[in-house]
A and B are shown apart, each in its own frame.
Chain A
Amino acid sequence: GQQLNQSPQSMFIQEGEDVSMNCTSSSIFNTWLWYKQDPGEGPVLLIALYKAGELTSNGRLTAQFGITRKDSFLNISASIPSDVGIYFCAGQPLQVYGQNFVFGPGTRLSVLP
């Protein structure tokens, strides 16, 4: 099946630093979603992207839908301790709608005080 790659797999940063992570696919996607998962909880939607080149912000978070439609990026500015968690990207392949969201393996973020 389709797979998404996320990098980095994990990262340790100092509080206040900016964070960048990305998600890549071998095929074109219609939609990119970024989720955050806290321990013991389900993923919570952060940002949704629907058009190539689209740049969307949600507070300190900014995500972009890559021009090639095969990648997406998430940036977090001025990280704080509550940013700790696993960040997942999810995409909706071009040919298939609805039920076939594909998820990346996640980027685990740790914020050091």
Chain B
Amino acid sequence: NAGVTQTPKFRILKIGQSMTLQCAQDMNHNYMYWYRQDPGMGLKLIYYSVGAGITDKGEVPNGYNVSRSTTEDFPLRLELAAPSQTSVYFCASSYSPSTNEKLFFGSGTQLSVL
């Protein structure tokens, strides 16, 4: 059981370039999330999705876009990369939003924008 799979593991972008971070889960989870992790800070929610075709903004959505065409996949798009987007990005999923559910994380994507 692969769980939550993120690609790529590392990426370096130039300012203004675009890229898509891939995330897939094989646990049939309804809820999927994108977080960013900056040094010394807690994880910040970028976007989340409650099911295929439904997405919503989190705490720090500016500069990012998402889509959820299938239950399994939740890609994160950076259209015009900026140095402020240098961070480690984590995708996570959970089955439902109930209080008894837990988040399962991918292994992360380390992104540097130079």
Contact = CB atoms under 8 A, between A and B. Distances in A.
B42 A105 contact: yes
A101 to B, nearest CB: 6
Contacts of B58: 99
A98 B94 contact: yes
Interface residues on B, range: 20 to 34
B2 to A, nearest CB: 13
B84 interface: no
A98 B40 CA distance: 24
B98 interface: yes
B50 A98 contact: yes
B97 A99 contact: yes
Nearest to A98: B97
B103 interface: yes
Nearest to A97: B97
Interface stretch (B14-22, B73-81, B105-113): B105-113
Interface in A1-49: 1, 3-4, 9, 30-31, 33, 35, 40-45, 48
Nearest to B30: A98
Interface in B43-89: 43-45, 48, 50, 56, 58-59
Contacts of A33: 102-103
Contacts of B33: 99
8 contacts: A1-B59, A42-B105, A43-B105, A98-B31, A98-B101, A102-B42, A105-B41, A106-B42
Interface of A: 1, 3-4, 9, 30-31, 33, 35, 40-45, 48, 50, 88, 90, 92, 97-106
